[in-house]
A and B are shown apart, each in its own frame.
Chain A
Amino acid sequence: MDECQSAIPAHDGDLHVVAAAHHIVKALGTTKNLSDDLRKILIDLDAHLSLITSNIDSKGGKGFVEVEERLKRVERKIVIWESDRIMIWDSGPKEVSDYLEAVDEVQTLIDSLRGLSMNENQKQKELLHRASSLLQMAMSRLEEELIHMLVKHKQQSEPTYMPSPSSQRNVVYNESVVSLDNESAKEASSKSSRSDECGEYIVDLVPEHVIPDIKSIAKVMFASDYGQEFCEAFIGVRKEALEQHFDILENGKLSIEDVLKMEWCSLSTEMNKWTWSMKIIFRVYLMSEKRLCDQVLGEFGSVNSFCFLEIAKTTILCLLNFGEAIAMGPQEPEKLLRLLDMYETLADLVLDIDALFSEDGGSFVRLEFHKLLEGLADSVKAAFNTFRVAVSSNGSLYPFPGGGVHPLSKYVMNYISMFPDYSSTLNLLLEDQHSDVASLVSEPQCGPTASLSTSCPMACHLRSITSSLESNLHKKSKLYKDEALQHIFLMNNLHYMVQKVKGSELRPFFGDEWIRKHNAKFQQHEMNYERVTWSSVVLLLKDDNPGSSSLSKSAFKEKCKGFSIAFEEVYKNQTSWCIPDPQLREDLRISTSLKVVHAYRTFLGRNPAHVDDKCIKHTVEDVEKLLLDLFEGSPRSLRNSRRMMKT
Chain B
Amino acid sequence: MPATDYQASFLGRISIRRNQVIAMDGNHEQELQDLELFSKHVSERFAELLSSPDDIPFDALLSISWLRKLLDFFLCCEAEFKGVLMMGNDPSQISKPPLDRLIPEFLDRSVKALDVCNAVTNGLESVRHYQQLAEIVVSALEQKPIGDGQSRRAKKALTSLMSAMNVDDKECSAAKATERSWSFSRRGVSSKDRVPEHFRSVSNQVAKNWSAAKQIQAMTNNLVPPRGAEGSGLASPVYTMSVIMVFVMWALVAAIPCQERNGLSAIHFPAPKQLNWAQSIIGLHEKIGEEWKKKEKKGTAGLLDEMQKMEKLGNILMDFTDSFQFHGDITDQKAEEAAARSAELAETCRRMEEGLLPLQIQIREVFHRIVKTRTELLNALDRVGKSSPPLL
- Residues of chain A at the chain B interface (Cβ within 8 Å): 82-87, 125, 128-129, 131-137, 139-140, 143-144, 147-148, 151-152, 155, 225, 228-229, 231-233, 235-237, 239-240, 243, 252-258, 260-261, 310, 313-314, 317-318, 321, 324, 328-330, 361, 364, 368, 371
Contacts and interface: CB of A to CB of B under 8 A. Distances in A.
Contacts of A235: 200
B192 A82 contact: yes
B364 interface: yes
Given A256-B114, A364-B364, 18 more contacts: A128-B145, A132-B149, A134-B149, A136-B149, A137-B192, A140-B156, A228-B139, A229-B157, A237-B199, A240-B199, A253-B207, A256-B111, A256-B115, A257-B115, A260-B390, A317-B121, A321-B118, A364-B357
B182 A148 contact: yes
A314 B147 contact: no
A85 B183 CA distance: 14
Contacts of A135: 149
27 contacts: A85-B185, A87-B187, A129-B145, A131-B149, A132-B143, A133-B147, A136-B150, A137-B149, A140-B194, A144-B187, A144-B194, A225-B139, A232-B160, A232-B200, A236-B200, A240-B178, A255-B115, A256-B115, A257-B111, A260-B111, A314-B122, A314-B205, A317-B118, A324-B367, A324-B371, A364-B361, A371-B368
A228 B132 contact: yes
A242 to B, nearest CB: 10
A253 B205 contact: yes
Contacts of B187: 84-87, 144
Interface in B364-385: 364, 367-368, 371, 374-375, 378
A330 B391 CA distance: 10
Contacts of A240: 178, 199
A640 to B, nearest CB: 48
Interface of B: 111-112, 114-115, 118, 121-122, 125, 128, 132-133, 135-136, 139, 143, 145, 147-150, 152-153, 156-157, 160, 178, 182-183, 185-188, 190, 192, 194, 196, 199-200, 203-208, 210, 357, 360-361, 364, 367-368, 371, 374-375, 378, 390, 392
Nearest to A86: B187
B149 A129 contact: yes
Nearest to B378: A330
Contact of B186 (A125, A148, A321): A148
A139 B153 CA distance: 9
Given A133-B148, A235-B200, A151 B183 contact: yes
Nearest to B387: A330
A254 B207 contact: yes
Nearest to A237: B199
B186 A314 contact: no
B145 A125 contact: yes
Contact of B204 (A253, A261, A313, A364): A253
Contacts of A314: 122, 125, 203, 205
Contacts of B147: 128-129, 132-133
Contacts of B368: 371
Nearest to B379: A382
B77 to A, nearest CB: 21
Most chain B beta carbons < 10 A, residue from A135, A240, A328 = A328
Per DSSP, chain B at the interface is helix
Contacts of B204: 253
A189 B291 CA distance: 59
B148 A147 contact: no
Nearest to B179: A240
A152 B139 contact: no
A85 B185 CA distance: 8
B148 A129 contact: yes
Given A228-B139, A232-B136, A321 B196 contact: no
B157 to A, nearest CB: 8
Nearest to B367: A324
Contacts of B371: 324, 328
A147 B182 contact: yes
B119 to A, nearest CB: 9
Nearest to A143: B196
Contacts of B111: 256-257, 260
A330 B378 CA distance: 9
Contacts of A132: 143, 147-150
B329 to A, nearest CB: 9
Nearest to A125: B145
A320 to B, nearest CB: 9
Contact of B205 (A129, A260, A321): A321
A361 B112 CA distance: 29
Given A135-B149, A229-B136, A260 B392 contact: yes
Contacts of B361: 364
A256 B118 contact: yes
A302 to B, nearest CB: 14
A348 B190 CA distance: 50
Given A240-B178, A317-B122, A364-B361, A232 B132 contact: yes
Contacts of B114: 256
B149 A255 contact: no
Contacts of A86: 187
A151 B182 contact: yes
A537 to B, nearest CB: 49
Contacts of B135: 228
Contacts of A231: 132
Contacts of B139: 225, 228
Given A151-B182, A151-B183, A255-B206, A364 B136 contact: no
B65 to A, nearest CB: 19
Contacts of A368: 364
A137 B207 CA distance: 41
B259 to A, nearest CB: 10
Contacts of A139: 153
A61 to B, nearest CB: 22
A84 B382 CA distance: 72
Most chain A beta carbons < 10 A, residue from B132, B178, B203 = B203
B110 to A, nearest CB: 10
A138 to B, nearest CB: 10
Contacts of A257: 111-112, 115, 392
Contacts of B206: 253-255, 258
A129 B149 CA distance: 7
Given A133-B148, A317-B205, A364-B357, A328 B115 contact: no
A155 B133 contact: no
Nearest to B150: A132
Most chain B beta carbons < 10 A, residue from A84, A133, A155, A252 = A133
Contacts of B188: 85
B205 A136 contact: no
Contacts of A361: 357
A257 B374 CA distance: 13
Nearest to B183: A151
Contacts of A148: 182, 186
Given A239-B200, A253-B205, A133 B149 contact: yes
Contacts of B149: 129, 131-137
Contacts of B199: 236-237, 240
Nearest to B154: A136
Contacts of A129: 145, 147-149
Nearest to A136: B149
A317 B204 CA distance: 11
Nearest to A261: B392
A144 B183 CA distance: 11
Contacts of A128: 145, 147
9 smallest CB-CB distances across A and B, nearest first, come from: A132-B149, A129-B147, A136-B149, A330-B390, A85-B187, A133-B149, A236-B199, A133-B148, A255-B206
A254 B200 CA distance: 21
Contacts of A84: 187
A253 B118 CA distance: 12
A140 B194 CA distance: 9
A613 to B, nearest CB: 66
A83 B190 contact: yes
